[in-house]
């Protein structure tokens, strides 16, 4: 070996050189999580980075769940608008998991329960036909809408959850809606300081879907 030091150095260098002809490995593609909702999920009247959906994406990263979160929640959206938008969103983002958080604006407008149910049903079926996992998010209405309408509205989400065997968050604003320090002056939208609380409400229902 000592007689041919230069030869051995050249041989070692060749053995340790990377294979320049090998194709570079693409980074793994993260699965997509699609959130489709209204102003309660769109970081209404605050920076988008402060909303519960953005906080969710941060928590997913911290807990090593490799998801890309796409938030397609818009203030004023109803179930009819969501139903119309959903096919394109599914085709565009190909989500592995969908969080469906619509219906509040329908209820506040006093739209027929049968119409809300038909729209939510269609969206649930679209997501299931697409073979994505689904988390359904419920919402409550103020009592001044009358006991009959309020009861029918609030019973709708558990009914759909059971019928289609999808997990349900009963009330997105649990622990927030009745606390005036956490709500904006309109009494409908949560403040920025309430967003981590909303995330805490969502997480226990979402986490089992991440483990599957």
Catalytic residue ranges: 39, 186, 189
- What's the rounded Cα separation, in Å, for the pair 136 and 129? 16
Q: Which two tokens stand for residue 198?
A: 């909303």
**With contact defined as beta carbons under 8 Å apart, do 39 and 189 qualify?**
yes
Q: What SS3 state is found at 36?
A: strand
153 closest CA partner among 202, 190, 112: 112
Q: State the Cα–Cα distance between residues 68 and 30, nearest whole angstrom.
A: 6
| Cα–Cα distance measured from residue 141 to residue 107, given in angstroms and rounded to the nearest whole number | 7
CA distance 154 to 189: 18
Helix, coil or strand: residue 103 = coil
Query: Are 189 and 45 spatial neighbours (Cβ–Cβ below 8 Å)?
Result: yes
């Amino acid at each position: 070996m000592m007689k041919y030091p230069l030869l051995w150095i050249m041989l070692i260098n060749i053995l340790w050189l990377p294979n320049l002809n090998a194709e570079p490995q693409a980074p793994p593609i993260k699965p997509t999580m699609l959130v489709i909702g209204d102003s309660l999920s769109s970081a209404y009247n605050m920076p988008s980075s402060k909303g519960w959906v953005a906080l969710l994406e941060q928590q997913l990263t911290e807990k090593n769940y490799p998801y890309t979160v796409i938030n397609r929640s818009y203030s004023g959206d109803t179930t009819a608008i969501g139903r119309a938008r959903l096919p394109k969103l599914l085709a565009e983002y190909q989500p592995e998991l969908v969080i469906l958080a619509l219906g509040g604006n329908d209820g506040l407008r006093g739209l027929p329960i049968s119409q809300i149910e038909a729209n939510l049903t269609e969206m649930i079926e679209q997501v299931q036909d697409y073979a994505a996992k689904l988390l359904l998010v419920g919402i409550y209405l103020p009592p001044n809408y009358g006991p009959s309408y309020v009861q029918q509205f609030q019973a709708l989400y558990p009914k759909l959850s059971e019928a289609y065997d999808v997990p349900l968050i009963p009330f997105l604003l649990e622990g927030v809606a009745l606390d005036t320090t956490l709500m904006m002056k309109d009494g409908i939208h949560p403040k920025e300081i309430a967003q981590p609380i909303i995330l805490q409400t969502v997480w226990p229902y979402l986490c089992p879907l991440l483990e599957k």
